[in-house]
Structure 1
Amino acid sequence: MNSISRRIGAGVAGLAGVAAVAVLAAPQASATVDSVAVSGSAPYTINTGYTLTANLSGAGIGLLVYWSDNGTSLTPAGKVPWPIGYSSIDWKPTTAGQHVLTASQGGNTKTIIVTVSDPSQPGGGGGTTPGGGGGTTPGGGTGGTGSASSALGGLLGGLSGSAGS
């Protein structure tokens, strides 16, 4: 009987080893971050509270969600999505400029970029572009499209003005 016990013990140990390898080699559960949004609208300002939300889907929909702002973790331990398919956190920016807000779940990420302004600074203190960060709102906005539009308008205006010469 002693030899049977050893064989059973060796078999159980072998199965446990195979199971551990299978778990480690398994691909991550498929999870998809479908969208990320920020409550409110531009201009976003420092020391004001907003809510970041993410809509989730996929087989890994119940995995922890990790949030970050410019690469700095906002949820070091992760956040359980609740209700299922949805995650939200409170966010209060303390610095002006561009903020890349990211939600990650199961290896899938989605980002949104917002420009935060400081109303106490001349021009809104909204970033590195002149006038505080672009967009259509002075001193703020949701990106650099305002400065790109004005540059394109200046170029096109200059072209049309020289075409008639």
Structure 2
Amino acid sequence: MNAGSVTGRRIGWGITGVMTIAAVAAIVAPPAFADVTQLDVSSGGGTLVVGSTYQLRAKAENFDSQPVMFRDNGSCIGSRPTTSQNTGALVIIDWTPTSAGTHTITATQAGVAKSVRVEVIAAAGQPAAPAATPSGCGGGGSIGSGSAGS
């Protein structure tokens, strides 16, 4: 057997081993760059009232093509995809609270969550708004109006 062909085979096997390790690392690595860093409720600085519609805005710093899921006290409000490939995309969804009290709003992307607590008051002389149809949070949880609990 030729010494050059043995060395060539060893180099080939070494390259194959390194490539295999790199491929496995890429497959088992956590999703890259999923991070909700900011969440707010657009109230214009005013009081949140049952039956009024507000925008929930989550800032997604990075992207792995997973949607941002919004929940109110654990109940699905809905989910939205990230819409930009640039750092700092704003993901927005409408929310209409149907009950008065404390609400914990959570935005989650790839397991990274950011929450904010807000107070909602009852509308004077008006019945609660009808339950909204959630636009999909996936991963279980209750499918509700997005305003469970108080």
TM-score, length-scaled by structure 2: 0.58
Q: Are the counterparts in 2 of residues 34 and 54 from structure 1 also a CA contact under 8 Å?
A: yes
Q: Are the counterparts in 2 of residues 31 and 105 from structure 1 also a CA contact under 8 Å?
A: yes
Q: Which has the larger radius of gyration?
A: 1
**More relative contact order, 1 or 2 (CA 8 Å, 6+ apart):** 2
Q: Which secondary structure state, in structure 2, belongs to the residue aligned with residue 29 of structure 1?
A: coil
Q: Which residue of 2 aligns with 1:86?
A: 90
Q: Are the counterparts in 1 of residues 31 and 64 from structure 2 also a CA contact under 8 Å?
A: no
How big is the shift at 1:101? 0.5
In structure 2, the CA distance between the partners of 1:86 and 1:61, relative to structure 1 (3 Å rule), is farther
Correspondence for 1:100 among 82, 94, 104: 104
How big is the shift at 1:106? 1.5
How big is the shift at 1:35? 0.7
Which has the larger helix fraction? 1
- Does 2:100 match 1:65? no
Q: Distance in 1 between matches of 2:104 and 2:56?
A: 12
Q: Which residue of 2 aligns with 1:35?
A: 38
Q: Read off the aligned partner of 2:91 and give its amino acid letter.
A: S
How big is the shift at 1:32? 1.4
How big is the shift at 1:28? 2.3
Q: Distance in 2 between matches of 1:70 and 1:42?
A: 21
Q: Read off the aligned partner of 1:33 and give its amino acid letter.
A: V
- Which contiguous aligned blocks of 4+ residues in structure 1 show a shift greater than 2 angstroms? 19-23, 60-63
Q: Are the counterparts in 1 of residues 69 and 108 from structure 2 also a CA contact under 8 Å?
A: yes
Q: Distance in 1 between matches of 2:118 and 2:74?
A: 14
Q: Which residue of 2 aligns with 1:119?
A: 123
How big is the shift at 1:87? 0.3
Cα deviations by residue, 1:116-159 (Å, 9 ceiling, x for unpaired)? 000337xxxxxxxxxxxxxxxxxxxxxxxxxxxxxxxxxxxxxx
How big is the shift at 1:83? 4.0
Q: Distance in 2 between matches of 1:35 and 1:21?
A: 30
Q: Are the counterparts in 2 of residues 43 and 117 from structure 1 also a CA contact under 8 Å?
A: yes
In structure 2, the CA distance between the partners of 1:46 and 1:105, relative to structure 1 (3 Å rule), is same
Instruction: Give the fraction of aligned pairs with identical amino acids, expressed as a percent.
Output: 31
Q: Distance in 2 between matches of 1:48 and 1:96?
A: 12
Unmatched 5+ stretches in structure 2: 1-22, 126-150
TM-score, length-scaled by structure 1: 0.54
Q: Which residue of 2 aligns with 1:74?
A: 77
Cα deviations by residue, 1:46-77 (Å, 9 ceiling, x for unpaired)? 0001001011113x3542111000000111xx
Q: How many residues align?
A: 102
Q: Which secondary structure state, in structure 2, belongs to the residue aligned with residue 74 of structure 1?
A: strand
In structure 2, the CA distance between the partners of 1:26 and 1:61, relative to structure 1 (3 Å rule), is closer
